[in-house]
Structure formats: C-alpha cells, structure tokens
Chain A
C-alpha cells in the first residue's frame, strides 16, 4: 500500500555518520548533502527564532504598563523592527522550505539529492551572512534600524540608524530564497522517481512547488526595491524620496508586490505539512487530493494580485480599491478549500492524537481565525477602521505564528524522530502543546479586542483604558514562552538521550520518507524506487499501521 514496492537500504551508513573528507563542524558546513544542509538551516533558523522570541518578549514587557516600563522609545522602535525583520526574513520565510523542504523534498520524490547541491549550500551561506548582517546592525554606532520591517520611504532614507546593513541583509536573504526556489522547481521537474507522476507527489511537495514559484517570481522585485533604497541612501540618487521627485507610494506598491506573495511563501509550505500529517494520523486517504494540490497553485496565483490591500488607507483610486478588495475575498477560497478538505479527511478517520496531529489541528484552528479576520480587513469600510491598529498585529500573528510557526512545530514533532533516529517524550510534548496553545490565545486574542477599540499598532505608549488588554496579552506571552521552553527542551533532550528508534515507519505514513532507514542513509536510496501508487492510500478497517512497521516491504507491494 505504501508508495514504493521494495526498498532495500540495509547496511549503508546513515547521513549522520561521517564518511566525507572533512571532520567535525566542517563536515557539516562544507557538505552538499541536502539532509545536512536541511539541518544547517534548521539549527540556524531556530537560533534566529529564539532571538526573535526574546525581542517579542521585550516588546510585550514594555507594554505591560502605560509609559516607560523597561526601555526608552528609540530602543522600543529598534526592537520591534528587529523582531519583525528576524521573524519574517530569517524564520518564517525560509522556515519550512529551507529546513524541511531541503531534507524531505528529494526523499519524498524518490531522488538522491536536489538538482543543484552546491547551489543549495551556497544559498545557506547567503542566508547565514544575511542573518549575521542583520544582527551586526545592533552593535554598530547609530543603533539598529527603527523603520519597522517594511522600510517605508521617506523615513528609511532619512533616519540616522543603521538601515543599510539591515536592508542589505534582507537583499541577501531574498537572493538565498530565490536560489532555493529555483533549485526546488528544477528538482521537482527533473528528479522524480519512475512512476512518480505529478498526482502521485505528496502534498507537501505540491506546497513546496507552488512556494518555489512565488519565491522565484516575486523575490526579485523586493530585491531591486531594497537595493534602490540602499543606492538612494548611499549616493542620494533620486528614486523614491519626494524631495528628489520620487513617489513614496510607488515604493509601497513595489514593496507589497513582493511582500504580499511572501505571506504565501510563508503559509503554503505549512499547509503542505498539515496535509501530510492529517491523513497519517487519521489513517485515511486525504480528501480531495487534487483540490488541495491545485489550491496551492490557486493561492500562488491569486496571492500575487492582492498586494494593494495593504494600502487601502494610503490613497488609491476607488476602482483600484474595489478590485483589490474583491481579489482579496477571492484568495480566501483556495485557503478554505484546504481547511474543508482537512476536516473532511478527519471525518470518520481512526484518529491518533499524537503531538504532530495536535499541532496540525492547532494550525487549522488558529489559521482559520487568522484567515477570517483577514477577510474582514479585505472589506474596505472595515479596513479603514482597523488599519494600523493592534487588530492587524493580532491577525498576522494568528496567520504567521499560529499558521507557519505552528506548522514548523508540527513538522518538528512529525519528522525529527526520522531525521535523528531518536524519540522525544510524547507526554511532555503534549503538555508543552497545551501550555503553548493557551499562551498563544491569551497573548494574541486581546489584540483583536483592543485593536477594534482603537489601540494603534507599534505605539510605545497607550491610554489607560487599554491597560487591561495589554496586561492580559503580556501575561499570555509568559505562558507561551513557558510552553516553548518545555517544547524545545523536550525535543533537545529527546535528540540527545531519547529512545533510539530504528524502525522505518514510526507513525504509519505511506510517503517515501517512511519507507527508508531511520535515520536516512547517504543519498537516501540504494536503488531508486519505482512508484506504483498514490501517497495516501490507506485501506480502511485494516491493520495497516502494524503491517507498515514490518521490515520487509515486499508484502506491501502486492496491494497495488
């Protein structure tokens, strides 16, 4: 029933064993193995994530009381800028494709590596240099950028803070993202195993494919736009600054032409992860495979045409506003298709409530709240009321953190045992989940309320009537961080001392990564598998799970 009939991998060294010419750290940072690069990305992006969480924690702490709590306004501006830049450019955008995509995309399509392994390593170097550059700006005289992660003109050419390193960091990260996307598209087109037709690909691969196209098509625009600000700041060339004949609104258009599709770079791979987890833990074939696959492409298409809904309050023609509002409503359709298909898959499934599924369900719940509040903002009249309020902050944290962030956590709990051959403590993972989940909602839900009541976003100070919401929210941030600490310590302890696992298929998945050794061997497969069936073909009311765990795969091949 599983995707490949026979896979022999016994007796080959795992990718974690050192067989190359380098030792120690160098065997990792010079490796072109997609699995090692995936882990390089994973460790670096989780490190940046923890820095981002720290900044978020500080923002919330500052907002505990009106007026000054722990820092002055300038520091506050820099901290929310860094929080945004780190979380967006260093964590959520590269997050799932660069870490889990690198590791599992070639395995899932039955390939030994990506199409351009050296380019893959190069893109990690770009990523790390970008990340370090963003952090270095903190230490330079002048202080870190205080523009917000959007770098709006004209403030970003006039402020005395270190905008240049941050801008250049974002440029490098964009370049890295382009190269990853280019690599994935070529890999998916050229390296699928025999029999792996487009509609036999796992949905995670479909998600990565759609994402890769957005990366390739949208990122160059932000690249040139940020570069133009760099040039404008360095040489005083008139491009966007109104004093030199430029048009700042044009900057905003160019910025959002990328940055809105980037939202889908962030969310679509997470949706792919959820589409993998749901069928495995409900032991059912995914409902509406093709609809989910095409809705990823649909999101990529519509998502490229809605950017100006970030600018309803900026000034645009009525026709423009109307069209962008309509398109914004339309983009909800492919997202909703996915949500309904996931719930339909769960219906009458044999549900196994393990940590990966808990996170996947949390994704559906939180993403639905985030998505629906997004539709509210698509309505022109409502949007005028809530533009630049805490409502927006609540909305995108529900989508980005509740969506992509939780998607990363789901992927970690689902795939980490496969990647390292050790199991974390399931009970502790569940406890961490519930603490995280409660903390998350306590932290971000009050933002909807206070935003609706008029609390502006990014403000350092606020009127006393908002105090209670800010305090609930700040307490929520403490609960959430507690959950994160328990979750990550559990995972790290699991990696170091957890139960060793050698069975190939711990969760009973049907996709290819569960048919190979744990942890995977060098080049994944000894012989490239021949694909005979779809990725989620569970036969109902059969003890598939136990059978799938048996060592000899040939028995499973008969079904198809």
Chain B
C-alpha cells in the first residue's frame, strides 16, 4: 500500500516509452468492482420489486409467465454463457501476447451480443403483436398482477438489453485499442474491466432467465 509501490512501474521491461507514472492497475480494478456493485444494486432494486409483487400476485405471475417463450430464452442463455467464455479467452490470449487471437475472440463476443439482441427483438415483437405491451387494451384487460408482471418483464429485460448494448460498444472500443496497441500483453487492465462488465451482464441474465421464463 505504500506510495512507491503504486507509483513505480508495475511491469518491468517497458517497450517504446516509460509506463505512465500515475498508472495503478489495482486502483483501476477496484474502481471497476465498485462500479459493478452499484450495477448489482441497481438491478437489486428491481429484483426486490419482482419478489414483492410475486409474493402479492402468485397466481397472476404464474399465468403470465406462460406467455414467455422458454426456447428462445434458453437459446439466449446459451449464447450469453458462451460469450462469457470468449470474453475470458480473449483476455487469456492477450496475456500470452496473441494479439490476433484476442481480437478475433473479442469480435466473436460482440457478434454473440448482437445475436442475443436480435433474438430479443423477435421475442418482443411477438409479444407486441399479441397485444401484450404497456397501455394496450388487451393488457389492461388482464389481471392487475399480470400487468405488473409484463411491466417488470419489459423494464428488466429492456434494461438488461441496454446493458448488453453498452457492453458491445465497450468491447468494440477495446478491440480498437487492441489493434492500436493501447491494450497489450503488458497493459490489459482496460480489457479486463470491459470483461468484468460483460460478466456482470451475463450474471444478471442468469437470474432474469429463471425468474421470468422457468418459474411458471
């Protein structure tokens, strides 16, 4: 924890230029973890709402969940889980100084994210074509518990989808950094941070999936 420790270059053998004097990888990781905590709490608020409303409207939640397509949910779960693997592998690749491999894995990762969102798009448009969207007459005619279920469904999966999108943008920026040699096998903390974010997106989905699709 002494100053010398963090002011001194964390890696020996610098390439073209000296390591930035203010660089502190541990601080960067700590900052990222704290940020992820806030994200968990953000979703935590919604999980809290979900559990209270589920407790209040057991029957309605049970019925409403039948409308969701378990197959498409399962496919999306598989996609996200696999993408976490490619994410982790891309970091492992850059650590071993395999730049091209790391870039390829990052691109595959972004592609997985895209497929996830495309699936989501079809899923939502199917719901909307059935008239299951906020303020629609069909939805307003349903039980109040079911209205809340679909309210939560759209908000939680929507906000999660937004996070997927942000994660894809983040990783694309990292890919650009890797191409430009800003991320190297000696300085990959940015890629790690993006990876942590992506895993968070994955973990939140792992909870959303059973809560909305599996418990019926």
Query: CB within 8 Å of B: which residues of A?
Result: 110, 112-113, 115-116, 119, 178, 182-183, 185-186, 189-194, 216-217, 219-221, 223-225, 228, 231, 235-239, 244-247, 250, 254, 528
Instruction: Verify B148–A220 contact, CB threshold 8 A.
Output: no
Instruction: Verify A223–B155 contact, CB threshold 8 A.
Output: no
Which residue of chain B has the shortest Cβ distance to A530 in the bound complex?
B3
Apart from A115-B24, A216-B38, A245-B146, 4 more pairs, CB < 8 Å: A182-B35, A194-B3, A220-B38, A224-B42
Nearest chain B CB to A224 CB, angstrom units: 4
Q: A182-B31, A191-B6, A192-B1 are in contact. Are A238 and B41 (CB under 8 A)?
A: no
Main secondary structure of the interface of B (DSSP, over half): helix
Instruction: Verify A239–B144 contact, CB threshold 8 A.
Output: no
CA gap between A113 and B39 in the complex, in Å = 26
28 pairs, A vs B, C-beta closer than 8 Å: A110-B3, A189-B27, A190-B24, A190-B27, A190-B30, A193-B3, A216-B37, A219-B38, A220-B38, A221-B45, A224-B45, A224-B46, A231-B155, A235-B135, A236-B135, A237-B154, A238-B150, A238-B151, A239-B148, A239-B155, A244-B148, A245-B143, A245-B145, A245-B148, A247-B56, A254-B45, A254-B48, A254-B49
User: Which of A116, A220, A228 interacts with B31 by CB under 8 Å?
Assistant: A116
Instruction: Verify B148–A238 contact, CB threshold 8 A.
Output: yes
Q: A244-B151, A528-B3 are in contact. Are A186 and B34 (CB under 8 A)?
A: yes
Nearest chain B CB to A243 CB, angstrom units: 8
**Residues of chain B contacted by A178 (CB below 8 angstroms):** 38
User: Which of B1, B37, B151 interacts with A237 by CB under 8 Å?
Assistant: B151
Q: A238-B134, A247-B53 are in contact. Are A182 and B34 (CB under 8 A)?
A: yes
Instruction: Verify A216–B34 contact, CB threshold 8 A.
Output: yes
CA gap between A119 and B38 in the complex, in Å = 16
Ranked nearest first, the 3 interchain pairs of A and B with the lowest CB-CB distance are A245-B144, A220-B41, A238-B151
**Residues of chain A contacted by B131 (CB below 8 angstroms):** none
**Residues of chain B contacted by A191 (CB below 8 angstroms):** 3, 6, 24, 27
CA gap between A178 and B40 in the complex, in Å = 13
**Residues of chain B contacted by A245 (CB below 8 angstroms):** 53, 57, 143-148, 151
**Residues of chain B contacted by A189 (CB below 8 angstroms):** 1, 27, 30
- Determine if B2 is an interface residue (Cβ-Cβ < 8 Å): yes
- Determine if B26 is an interface residue (Cβ-Cβ < 8 Å): yes
CA gap between A236 and B140 in the complex, in Å = 11
Q: A235-B134, A245-B145 are in contact. Are A186 and B27 (CB under 8 A)?
A: yes
Instruction: Verify A182–B42 contact, CB threshold 8 A.
Output: no
**Residues of chain A contacted by B30 (CB below 8 angstroms):** 185-186, 189-190
Instruction: Verify B3–A236 contact, CB threshold 8 A.
Output: no
> How many residue pairs between the two chains, A and B, have CB atoms under 8 Å in the bound complex?
112
- Determine if B210 is an interface residue (Cβ-Cβ < 8 Å): no
**Residues of chain A contacted by B150 (CB below 8 angstroms):** 238
Which residue of chain A has the shortest Cβ distance to B45 in the bound complex?
A224
- Determine if B101 is an interface residue (Cβ-Cβ < 8 Å): no
**Residues of chain A contacted by B11 (CB below 8 angstroms):** none
Name which of B6, B26, B31, B152 has the most chain A CB atoms within 10 A of its CB: B31
Chain B: interface residue total (CB-CB under 8 A): 43
Instruction: Verify B49–A250 contact, CB threshold 8 A.
Output: yes
- Determine if B215 is an interface residue (Cβ-Cβ < 8 Å): no
Q: A194-B4, A244-B147 are in contact. Are A185 and B34 (CB under 8 A)?
A: yes
Nearest chain A CB to B46 CB, angstrom units: 6
**Residues of chain B contacted by A254 (CB below 8 angstroms):** 45, 48-49
CA gap between A191 and B38 in the complex, in Å = 22
Q: A115-B24, A245-B147, A247-B56 are in contact. Are A194 and B2 (CB under 8 A)?
A: yes
Nearest chain A CB to B193 CB, angstrom units: 12
**Residues of chain A contacted by B37 (CB below 8 angstroms):** 216-217
- Determine if B18 is an interface residue (Cβ-Cβ < 8 Å): no
Instruction: Verify A236–B134 contact, CB threshold 8 A.
Output: yes
CA gap between A182 and B37 in the complex, in Å = 10
Nearest chain B CB to A554 CB, angstrom units: 21
**Residues of chain B contacted by A231 (CB below 8 angstroms):** 155
Instruction: Verify A115–B34 contact, CB threshold 8 A.
Output: no
Q: A182-B35, A194-B3 are in contact. Are A115 and B148 (CB under 8 A)?
A: no
CA gap between A119 and B4 in the complex, in Å = 24
**Residues of chain B contacted by A110 (CB below 8 angstroms):** 3
Which residue of chain A has the shortest Cβ distance to B146 in the bound complex?
A245
Which residue of chain A has the shortest Cβ distance to B26 in the bound complex?
A190
**Residues of chain A contacted by B71 (CB below 8 angstroms):** none
CA gap between A220 and B35 in the complex, in Å = 10
Which residue of chain A has the shortest Cβ distance to B24 in the bound complex?
A190
CA gap between A191 and B48 in the complex, in Å = 36
**Residues of chain B contacted by A528 (CB below 8 angstroms):** 3, 7
**Residues of chain B contacted by A221 (CB below 8 angstroms):** 41-42, 44-45
Which residue of chain A has the shortest Cβ distance to B145 in the bound complex?
A245
**Residues of chain A contacted by B49 (CB below 8 angstroms):** 228, 239, 250, 254
**Residues of chain A contacted by B6 (CB below 8 angstroms):** 190-191
**Residues of chain B contacted by A247 (CB below 8 angstroms):** 52-53, 56
**Residues of chain B contacted by A237 (CB below 8 angstroms):** 134, 151, 154-155
Nearest chain B CB to A6 CB, angstrom units: 15
Nearest chain A CB to B49 CB, angstrom units: 7
What 0/1 readout, one digit per residue, does chain B (2-27) give for beta carbons within 8 Å of chain A? 11101100000000000000101011
CA gap between A113 and B56 in the complex, in Å = 50
Instruction: Verify A220–B39 contact, CB threshold 8 A.
Output: yes
CA gap between A82 and B30 in the complex, in Å = 37
Nearest chain B CB to A244 CB, angstrom units: 5
CA gap between A106 and B41 in the complex, in Å = 28
User: Which of B31, B44, B52, B143 interacts with A250 by CB under 8 Å?
Assistant: B52
What 0/1 readout, one digit per residue, does chain B (89-113) give for beta carbons within 8 Å of chain A? 0000000000000000000000000
What 0/1 readout, one digit per residue, does chain B (124-135) give for beta carbons within 8 Å of chain A? 000000000011
